Structure 1
Amino acid sequence: MEAEGRTSQLPLFPFKEGCLLAALSSGRCSGDPPGGPGGPGSAGRKAEPRGHRALAGSAGSSQSPPSQLSAAALFGPAFAVLNRAFADAMAEQRVLKALQEELICPVCLGVYRNPVSLSCGHSFCEECIQGLLRSQRCPQGLVSCPLCSAQEALPTKLQPNIQLRSVVQKFLDTSEKNAALEEKLKREVECEGKGESSDLHDEIMCDFCLEEPQPAVKTCMNCETSLCQAHLGKHSTKAFLTSHVLVEPCDAHVLAERRCAQHGKLLECYCVTDSVCVCMLCCATSSHRSHEIISVEEAFGQARSDFPKAVQTLKKHEAAVNKSLENLLSQQEKIKALERLHRNHVEKSFNMICEQLDRSKTEILGAISDIKEQELSQIEPWIKEHKEMKDAASRSVQELKALRDQKDPVLFLKGLSAIQARKRKQVPNKDGTELAELLTVTDESMKNVIQEHFQPYDHLILDAKSSMESSFAHEHLTFKSCQVCGLHVDDKVLRIVLFPLLIEMPFWVYSTSCFSSGQHFWEVITRDSLCWKVGVTDNSFQCYLEMSSQRRLRVFLDKRLIKVRLLNTAIRMVRVQLDCKRKTVSFFDVSVKDYSGSSRSYVPIAAVIIPASSPVYAIFSISHGFLSLT
């Protein structure tokens, strides 16, 4: 039967489950619809909103098994949408089956065709129930319902079930619609699986189609509408529309991009001078009037011809950047490797030194203990002898005290003579026994240990001055003349002569010498100035040490602050070291007892890597007092 053929495949509705349940409850065959023949179910079908087209198409893909869909989702982002749509379709399938069962005629077992209702409330296909009623031969002109056998008078005209007809019609229309959408979705799945592009979700639909919007084939820039093939033919036949610009189908965003932001006109021209697309009003009224203007089509042709060259240029640039980046990454890894190497070396060296110092400490402390025991063993007999002498002297003193009260002259003289006749040893002088010798031995041992363990580092620890001066050559610089109001410059002194007025430091005084290679240093006496700057430059950068009146010491590389420190006392002398090979500048605080250089110490302030690529000059600036070169 025709009805059975049309229902052999379960169609999928683009409706939500709540809508289907409402349709199911309103279209049951157990009685007339609540709204009667004129209820809302009899209204004509409205055009589906364009925003739901993709969802409807996705919901119609019920033929694709879930396992195949989830596996295909690995091939492209469109499968995520398809997978969600398929899940929704599977969730609605049970509701659709229930609805299909309610739409089956009990006579022909197919979907209702022009359903009508009897007075008992049961519904049948109009053709089916008419055939049954004609075949019945009941007495008194009565007919009975095939389902409940309820009898009623033979109706002259069967009452149509309008709401049930509406539900059946939607069911059948959706079946046809879903068949087309499923075929399209199947093609989309195949394209995604093969890695081909597809425009299922970005498809531009015709703006003039009402019931069934068709895919657009062109977009009119003047009308700002998209047209299918049928409406494009109507658009092209009108004479006053033939001058409109037609492009490939595009959305509102692309349409906005093709219009002038200032005038809202089409971008039909190209300004060669400014390399920008402009409209006709821009060419006539704006700043592009005197520029070279060509059409967009001509500019497009030129750009297409120059495109391979541009691509080649960018590829070369990309290759150069990649090579430079690889070089930098390689240098980065080398620096990290060297840092790890030196760190391990230093840690290992100091661990070894600590172990050796611990052993030496134990040995020296053991030697000190041995010397102590030796010295104490020599002192103990002396202590015992002195105690015996002390006891004898104490007894004699007690006897003399008792003899003081003797009144008998003979006894007094005999007792005193006996006490005086006793032999008394002379008290030896044992002050400062061997203590000096003990300290001498300890000091000598510690000196030997230090010289043994720290000898590899003595040039860094014990003799920093000689190491510093041996590698860097002292440059006795002189100042270049500088024409600045209130500033006096001679060979060795830079002086402010408008004292006590303070002037700013926008100027720099250069040295007469410049440096391109080697290691150099110079020293500047700064004790006579509150605010000063000393550093280096090659006219492409400036690296300098600055002292402010608030005793704030700062290091700059151009305008970038490298280091800042607040000092309690002013710096009296600064040393600047330049290493042209390593491209570094170092600043030191020089502490001196006198300026003859007989005794100096150097405290590092900062070391800066500079981008020097040409001869480097020493630079100086001042706003108060004077600076002097040594």
Structure 2
Amino acid sequence: MAVPAAVEGLEEELTCPICLGIYSSPVSLTCGHSFCKECVQEARTHGHSLQGSFSCPLCCAQADPAMELLPNVQLRNIVQKFLDTPTHQEEEKHEVQCEEKGESSGKQDKAILCDFCLQEPQPAVKTCLNCEASLCQAHLSKHSTKSPLKDHVLIELCDAQVLADRRCPQHGKLLECYCKTDSVCICVLCCVTSSHKNHEITSLEEAFGQAQNILPGILKKVKNCEAVLNENIANLLKQEKEVKTKESLRRNQLENLFEKMCLQLNNKKGELLKVLGHNEEQQLSRIQTRIQELKEGKDAASHGVQELEALRSQKDLLLFTKAFAVIQARKHKPVRSEAGVQLPAPPITLNELTINTILRLFQHFLSDIQYYFEVPPVCEHLTSSAQQQSGFPHNSTFTIPSPYSSFQFGVPSPTFQSVVPSPTRHMQSDQSFSEGCHFWEVDTSNLTWWKLGIIHHKFECYLQMSNNQLHVFLGQKRITPKEFPTALKVVRVELDCRRNTLSFYNVPVKGGDRAESLRLIETVSIPSHYPVHATFGASDGNVKLL
């Protein structure tokens, strides 16, 4: 176990102080120190050219530059025996493998080399600011032992660019001070000669200490800022995901909508083509029937012609007379000339006027679609303005005030409230409408007389059911009577403030999509007076908002 330790100690003794490697052709100087022949020759040449003399790199003893370097034969033999030992060969082989492995894995890593190594520069470990040089471990030890160099400033390893950044670009001195006024690092000359002369100056050590004191607070603020930014980014990413999800949903809904529209358009096209086909069959059937009748008459006429032609050659008086009497006794109806038969009127009128009208209506339809895409209908939660203040939210039933109670109707004046009995009762909503598109649906299945619409202090528009008859009113003017649909149980009132229209729809209560199965009762153009309120009227029973 002592052999490896002895070999390791011997290797240290056989190391050249210049190249820090095992001696190669060792030579000795007059002072007794030994070096590699190439190392000492390069050092002697370098020292002689710079200073005119040569000194030992270790003890600085003066030597003659022209002195012949004598080989140290004994030291060379010891080095050779050391190199031939198995332990050293294994270590050398392992070092070669590590170097090859390091070259293959990190060829791009550039190490900073020692500036004092002459033959094979070793990796540096520290940088001296005063010398502006990088030192390996061996030369760093020598640098620290020399008294003139002890006060030099050593920093972590850095390259020439970093060294340049640590000096003042104006004076070339080390940046050793800090200007609080301008928040910059400066050199000593900047403090007394430049624009920083009258500024608040401190040392780098003091500035470092002050910065260390306020660093935690600033770090906390920056971390809080980072956390807020991360939260904002997370919110934006979440919003981005929601936008994509909603956009995908809208696209699917739009595709489904137009597929349904195309399906209904194709169905209507099929219905009309079927009607045209049926009408064509009826017309062709009449024509074929008349052709068959005429062919039968033609066959009978042709047979009579043949009989008369044959009778002309008959010479027997009796036979001629008898045969002619039979032919003459037949009924010969006169045949009038006709261009065709009377055909049923076509079920569809398709001419230039009709086509233009349909295309114009289709353009209006497309315009309506665009409008509803921009301003979708909004279903409002209406509230009552009658004496009870609970209101009538959707999916709830409320009772119209009795005839003997006071109630508010329209935008009242003090004389517009009444306690006089009335066969009908009215109520209006607190919620008013001035813009947008709104609708509400009302269940009227248990009412015999009712009215639904909107009211303003200048006009009123409503749909009224009375004696199983529907009437649309705008003020005192009855727009048009409507036939009573037996399935009229739920009525939708739709207000479009942008187009100034009020529409009434029959809403089926069983099966199917309510929006698809709506049936328009009437659309009325109303005056552009806003705000308006929803109004309800009934003679008995309850009104239910859906």
TM-score range normalised by the length of the shorter chain: 0.3 to 0.5
TM-score of the pair, normalised by structure 1: 0.34
TM-score of the pair, normalised by structure 2: 0.39
